[in-house]
Structure 1
């Protein structure tokens, strides 16, 4: 039987992370919950400490990339699942991420989320798709999805580089594909807060784009 470790990075998610973690604790396929409180200034850290098997508390905000890598190092499972903190009750829909690992040749599974009514312009996603295709020849339809799983044997590959914040999803895919990992995508019913077409949304996507470029730019342009 495969042991499943779930790693949840969190920054100021006190309004929803309790629901996310309580739902995760009820899932029979989840054997270990590791949270990384990324320097939150609200009650996120306390909630993580109360509801996780391992709760890592970072004193300052170090970004999603570094937070995930710190969490991965503590995982004892055969499969490491990455899930966002703001999934709430829909986190129970993450089980399709682990089902493909019954096949030995599958190394990485990415969860595609349903389309949401409120969403951004998609330029960061398209940029990520093009970067991955140009570098590896693989077309990934959901390169920015934070809902993904991989076999622990690939951890050494994923710890060779330090990932920049929100650039981690694209950068880790590049590293895994270049190392020969077999990556597939599956549809899920996971939902989370979408980034809208307002100032906050544009600022978020701008930061996401900058961190993506910092993580993956390797003389491609």
Structure 2
């Protein structure tokens, strides 16, 4: 099955090359699309000099957010693509683990497969955000998932094409998960040995988690209202 990977990247010059190195030789990946979302560093130069026949990239001059970057990537999909994978640009060499979420979709075990990271090496205070995300999905769907905020996901193309647009903000994954389950699709979580830039316990880290919490609450309420009216 033709598989395409979409990577939104913002200021990832130090990690995007190793992220691409980790996936470029995976036989089951046929296409890699990177959308540089208005980076102010040298991400663009790294992409322009990267040698890989599978790679296509798009450079945006302005930062428009992850949701818009993913939408651009979807527009660039090869017509043959049957599986679409969302992957973050800061995974480095651990991106090779993406095969663990691709294979269950190829094998028909599920319609969407989500990467569940192992516990972080340092405490980042993410517990309350993850609980809110998990509880919001369970309340509306009756399904318990542990990786509802994970951005590493493999979809059957027909699932991702049901979305008229990709929501922006930190609640995007929670909102999409609720919709996918409400539509009757099967989701599977798989534990992976991926790592990315961890949010610390400094002021900026707490502000980041606060924004995540508020975004998730907002989209959960919106989905409750939306699906309650159907």
- Mapped partners of 2:168, 2:23: distance in 1: 27
| Structure 1 gap segments, 5+ residues each | none
Displacement of 1:169 in angstroms is 1.1
SS at match of 1:149: strand
Aligned-pair CA distance for 1:5: 0.4
Q: CA deviation at 1:125?
A: 1.2
Superposition CA RMSD, Å? 1.9
What is the TM-score with the length of structure 2 in the denominator? 0.88
TM-score by length of 1: 0.91
Alignment deviations for residues 2-52 of structure 1 (CA, whole Å, 9 cap, x no partner): 111011111111111111112221222221000111111011122234436
Distance 1:5 1:38 in 2: 19
Of the structure 1 ranges 8-17 and 56-65, higher mean CA displacement relative to structure 2 is found in 56-65
Report how many residues are paired: 219
Q: 1:70-85 counterparts in 2 under 5 A?
A: 70-76=72-78, 77-85=81-89
Q: Match of 2:173, SS?
A: helix
The question of 1:60 aligning with 2:65 is answered no
Residue segments in structure 2 that go unaligned for 5+ positions in a row: 226-230
Query: In the alignment, is the contact (CA less than 8 A) between 1:132 and 1:170 conserved in 2?
Result: yes
Shift of 1:95: 0.7
Distance 1:216 1:60 in 2: 29
1:139 matched to 2:141: no
**For each residue in 1:94-141, what CA deviation from the matched residue of structure 2 results, as whole angstroms up to 9, or x when unmatched?**
111111124335100001111122232221111111111111111111
Q: What is residue 97 of structure 2 aligned with on the other side?
A: 93
Aligned to 1:205: 209
Range moving further from structure 2, 89-98 or 43-52: 43-52
| Larger deviation, residues 93-102 vs 204-213 | 204-213
Q: Secondary structure at the match of 2:171?
A: helix
Question: 1:217 corresponds to which residue?
Answer: 221
